Amino acid sequence: MQKLSTIPAHIVFKALDLGLNLIREEIIKCAQEGYGEDWKEQIATLTENPNFNLDSISEDIKYRIDFGNLSRFIFDTDILNNTESKGRLHGFISEVRAIRNRICHFTPISELDFENLFVSIDKILVAIGLERLDRSLCWDGITEPIIVNDAESKPKTSTDAKTYFKVSERWYGQEKTITVQFKRGKHTNKKYRYNHDELFEAVKSHLFTIPAFISHKEYSSSSNIPRWAMDTGLVNEI
């Protein structure tokens, strides 16, 4: 299993800035096309915040646009057109805001969090008609993820008996071996076993495309093992 690591803060901020700058440019372009000379007034109205004076932050109005008020531009106006369902986009925007807030409060961001950040930013970009973020732009070619637990501190493997299949971001790193015996469904009375962390590593790119996982940080089923898990060869009948 790979060691758990955390992404340096300046790399996370770089990803956030790259994504936000693309979004800002698109919003300004669309606002100029839609409102003509009144475009600045429209953006100023949508980004009003009684808690602080945005004019004191920057004279450039684009810096008023942030992930904190992005939902207003997507859902409350016709500045941007998007085909993504509103419910899903709300979730992706909330995910980006949550990770931004964590890094601003010095909370470590794991590689899984970082992957989730990219997926969420990509979903927003594609929904408003832009290309996905070029991830290579975030790395300087020198910085490496910071190891936050080594072999000596790695928890001992534990074996858990469950009546459901589950992969969870909260379980990742706990070295769990899961034994599942379903009480219903086509796998009733059959037993399956898998190493949770190995399976998570193998399927994490797929997990970040599942709305339930994006919202709840886990996927579970009380009656079935999905094909994307079985196809890894890491879930075995015993």
Segment 164-179, tens digit of pLDDT: 899 988 888 788 899 9
Letter string b/e over residues 124-152, b meaning 16 or more CB atoms within 10 A of that residue's CB: bbebbeeeebeeeebeeeeeebeeeeeee
Identity of residue 107: T
230 and 170 housed in the same domain: yes
Domain count, the chain: 2
**Residues 6 or more apart whose Cβ sits within 8 Å of residue 141:** none
Residue 199 has pLDDT above 70, yes or no: yes
Q: Are residues 23 and 92 in the same domain?
A: yes
Q: Do 125 and 183 fall within a single domain? A: no
Which residues are within 8 A (CB) of 133 and not within 5 positions of it... i.e. 6 or more apart? Answer: 15, 18, 19, 22, 118, 121, 122, 125
Give every CB contact of residue 51 below 8 A, 6+ residues apart in sequence. Answer: none
Residue 174 lies in a domain: yes
Looking at the DSSP assignment, which residues form a beta bridge with residue 236? 193
> Are 122 and 16 found together in one domain?
yes
Domain containing residue 20? 5-147
Do 111 and 215 share a domain, yes or no? no
Q: Is residue 153 part of a domain?
A: no
Do 171 and 204 share a domain, yes or no? yes
Residues 32, 38: Cα–Cα separation, whole Å: 8
41 in the same domain as 65: yes
* Of 118, 147, 176, the domain-final residue: 147
Examine residue 229 and state whether it is found in any structural domain, yes or no. yes
Based on the domain organization, do 73 and 24 belong to the same domain? yes
- Judgement on whether residues 208 and 96 belong to the same structural domain of the protein: no
The pLDDT value given to residue 228: 92
Same domain, 24 and 139: yes
Amino acid at 84: E
**Residue 152 domain flag:** no
Are 56 and 173 found together in one domain?
Answer: no
Same domain, 102 and 182: no
Of 85-94, 140-149, 187-196, the range with the lowest mean pLDDT is 140-149
Domain boundary among 147, 181, 211: 147
Give the residue from 92, 123, 147 where a domain finishes: 147
Report pTM.
0.59
User: Is pLDDT above 60 for 91?
Assistant: yes
AA letter at 142: I
